[in-house]
């Protein structure tokens, strides 16, 4: 293992941001290039995490521990397991792509934009690698502000409303989580005499089932459910997505939403196993409602970006469904679906952004017959749409299939209902695709559109490769994560049964 590698990956973007503060703002292209360089180096550094990660082990790897606030029991403890590894790589991959997509889109205050994105990347990576509740909370909250600025400063016409709504929703959720973190800390300390925020230590502690555990679970769950977003906490999402600039939408959909589902896996399940079992049916039901509701609302959207935003509600519903099956197939499917959604929806937002840059509209009705004008764009759009709707052979199928296999073992009726989400996905994506791409060119403005540029190809190509790779050979990815997930499920089951035996 390489000591310090994980810290280097996590903090390199922030260091780059601090360095860029000193570069004068009139050198906008220097900022763009340097930002891209920093994120690319970060990605390059994160590749050894992948290659050297031992997929047969369920332990945390690349762990680093340092004292931070010893009197409180707070330590700088980071590490990755099979779940967070995938998300770390997703983050380091999507951030340079997002910056690349913003090359011409962000002309105003480029310096601030690049710095904000870099700080955001450190915040997101920090959330995924933290193994200390205090450290996690610090990153969780700190990451809010850059995203708030990205939406609020570089967003669309209604950006301020969307940005404030995003922050307030998230803050209310995380406020109660803070109380629950403190309550857990003192409960563990009172029972064992060890006052610590260390996650692996706390995860070994068997909390007695009952009111206290339920409330703590709900406090954590609220914070994560808002972030996912789980129906009915999703209302901030369409606003944030529609107003955010393309780069912001890509990061928001690709990475930020995963923080919620990741939070359930990392904290709710191992810390509060009894409450997890108690509330699983409810969350299961909400996930299915989200799948169907998101798909139905997507179908009727006149705006491309809004359509993709609501489809996120539906897709994240699959992730939640998979996680709360609490069986191997379901959880593995959920984790893979997290990655898939990051890739497919990230790519969809990129494509919508590219067409918006050309036409300055996102209304489906303003397009039509694009295949004749920009065939390469249309072809990529087709592949990504098919991946998003779960065509076998592409990535989306793998995750959704596994999730549904898991879900059928738990509740066949709800699983059957969830399956309709896949059908609706085909409806809204293909119908949208048909209206935008096929037919005659209905608007004269569309005749002069230019096809994908080299830069745009460079941004899209990595995503296309992964979309096909996961679709054809998923075990390259599931292999890294299966050991972790079976250990997690075993841990939840054994802790829940220990509590039952008391």
Partner 1 sequence: MSPEIVFPGVAIGGLLPALIVLAAAGLVLLLDLAPPRDTKTHLGGIALAGIVAALLVAVTRWGTEQRAFRDMVLLDNYALFFDLVICYAAALVLMLSMDYLGRTGGESGEYYSLVLFATAGMMLMVSAGDLIVVFLSLELMSLSLYVLSGLFKTRLASGEASLKYFLLGAFASSFLLYGIALIYGATGSTSLDRIAASPAAKNADPLVLAGLGLMLVGFGFKISAVPFHMWAPDVYQGAPTTITSFIATGSKAAAFAALIRVLVVALRGAQADWSALLWGIAAVTMTLGNVVALAQSNLKRMLAYSSIAHGGYMLMGLVAGGAPGAGAILFYLLAYTFTTVGAFGAIGLCARAGEEAVEVVDYAGMARRHPVLAATLALFLLSLVGIPPLAGFVAKFYLFGSAVRAGYLWLTVIAVLNSAIAAYYYLRVIVYMYMREPEGEGLSVASSLAGGLALSIALIGLVLLGLMPAPFADLAQAAVAPLLR
Stretches 181-189, 277-285, 398-406, 486-494: which one binds partner 1 (CB under 8 A)? 181-189
Q: Does 178 interact with partner 1 (rule: CB under 8 A)?
A: yes
Q: What's the closest the beta carbon of residue 189 comes to partner 1, in angstroms?
A: 9
Stretches 155-163, 386-394, 395-403, 442-450: which one binds partner 1 (CB under 8 A)? 155-163
Q: Does 272 interact with partner 1 (rule: CB under 8 A)?
A: no
Choice from 176, 206, 218, 430 touching partner 1 (CB under 8 A): 176
Q: Which residues contact 17 (CB under 8 A, 6 or more apart)?
A: 114, 115, 116, 118, 119, 122
Q: Does 414 interact with partner 1 (rule: CB under 8 A)?
A: no
CA distances from 241 to 155, 210, 246, 307 (A): 9, 38, 9, 10
HEC letters along 389-435: HCCCCCHHHHHHHHHHHHHHHHCHHHHHHHHHHHHHHHHHHHHHHHH
Residue 277 to residue 20: CA distance in whole angstroms = 48
| Nearest Cα to Cα of residue 194 among 61, 339, 73 | 73
Q: Does 182 interact with partner 1 (rule: CB under 8 A)?
A: yes
Q: Does 65 interact with partner 1 (rule: CB under 8 A)?
A: no
Stretches 48-56, 70-78, 236-244, 330-338: which one binds partner 1 (CB under 8 A)? 70-78
The first and second tokens of residue 268, run together, are 């709710």
Q: What's the closest the beta carbon of residue 168 comes to partner 1, in angstroms?
A: 6
Compute φ and ψ for 15, nearest 5 degrees: -60, -45
Choice from 87, 89, 153, 271 touching partner 1 (CB under 8 A): 153
Nearer to partner 1, 182 or 465 (CB): 182
Choice from 142, 410, 441, 449 touching partner 1 (CB under 8 A): 142
Kindly write down the DSSP assignment for every residue of 205-240, as one continuous string: S-PPSSHHHHHHHHHHHHHHHHHTTPTTS-THHHHH
| Nearest Cα to Cα of residue 243 among 311, 165, 310, 151 | 151
Q: Does 27 interact with partner 1 (rule: CB under 8 A)?
A: no
Q: What's the closest the beta carbon of residue 303 comes to partner 1, in angstroms?
A: 22
Q: Helix crossing, 5-21 with 28-51: angle to 10°?
A: 180
Q: Please report, as ranges, the residues that interact with partner 1 according to CB under 8 A.
A: 25, 68-72, 109, 112, 134, 137-139, 141-142, 144-145, 148-149, 152-153, 159-160, 163-164, 167-168, 171-172, 175-176, 178-179, 182-183, 185-186
């Amino acid at each position: 293992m390489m000591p310090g590698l994980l810290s280097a990956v996590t903090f390199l973007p922030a260091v780059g941001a601090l360095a860029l503060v000193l570069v004068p703002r009139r050198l906008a292209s220097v900022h763009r290039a340097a930002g891209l360089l920093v994120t690319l180096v970060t990605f390059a550094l994160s590749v050894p995490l992948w290659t050297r990660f031992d997929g047969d082990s369920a332990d945390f790897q690349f762990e680093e521990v340092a004292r931070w606030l010893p009197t409180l029991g707070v330590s700088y403890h980071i590490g990755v397991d099979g779940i967070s590894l995938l998300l770390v790589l997703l983050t380091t991959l999507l951030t340079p792509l997002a910056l690349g997509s913003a090359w011409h889109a962000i002309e105003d205050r480029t310096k601030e934009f690049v710095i904000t994105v870099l700080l955001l990347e450190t915040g997101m990576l920090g959330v995924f690698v933290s193994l200390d509740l205090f450290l996690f909370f610090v990153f969780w909250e700190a990451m809010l502000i850059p995203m708030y600025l990205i939406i609020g400063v570089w967003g669309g016409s209604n950006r301020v409303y969307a940005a404030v709504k995003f922050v307030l929703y998230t803050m209310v959720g995380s406020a109660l989580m803070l109380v629950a973190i403190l309550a857990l800390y003192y409960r563990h300390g009172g029972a064992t005499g060890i006052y610590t925020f260390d996650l692996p230590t706390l995860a070994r502690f068997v909390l007695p089932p009952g009111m206290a555990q339920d409330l703590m679970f709900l406090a954590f769950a609220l914070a994560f459910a808002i972030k996912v977003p789980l129906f009915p906490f999703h209302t901030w999402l369409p606003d944030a997505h529609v107003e955010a600039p393309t780069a912001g939408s890509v990061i928001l959909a690709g990475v930020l939403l995963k923080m919620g589902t990741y939070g359930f896996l990392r904290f709710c399940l191992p810390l509060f196993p009894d409450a997890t079992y108690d509330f699983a049916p409810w969350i299961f039901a909400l996930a299915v409602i989200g799948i169907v509701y998101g798909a139905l609302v997507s179908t009727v959207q006149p705006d491309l970006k809004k359509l993709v935003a609501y489809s996120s509600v539906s897709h994240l519903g699959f992730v939640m469904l998979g996680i709360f099956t609490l069986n191997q197939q379901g959880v593995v499917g959920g984790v893979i679906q997290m990655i898939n959604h990051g890739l497919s929806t990230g790519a969809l937002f990129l494509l919508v952004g590219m067409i918006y840059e050309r036409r300055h509209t996102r209304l489906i009705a303003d397009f039509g017959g694009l295949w004749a004008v920009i065939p390469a764009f249309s072809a990529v759009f087709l592949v990504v749409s098919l991946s998003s709707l779960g065509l076998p052979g592409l990535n989306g199928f793998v995750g959704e299939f596994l999730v549904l296999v898991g879900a059928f073992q738990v509740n066949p009726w709800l699983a059957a209902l969830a399956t309709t989400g896949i059908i609706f996905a085909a409806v809204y994506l293909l119908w949208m695709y048909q209206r935008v791409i096929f037919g005659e060119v209905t608007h004269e403005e569309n005749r002069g559109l230019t096809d994908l540029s080299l830069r745009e190809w460079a941004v899209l190509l990595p995503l296309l490769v992964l979309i096909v790779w996961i679709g054809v050979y998923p075990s390259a990815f599931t292999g890294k994560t299966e050991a972790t997930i079976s250990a997690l499920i075993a841990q939840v089951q054994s802790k829940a049964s220990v509590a039952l035996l008391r």
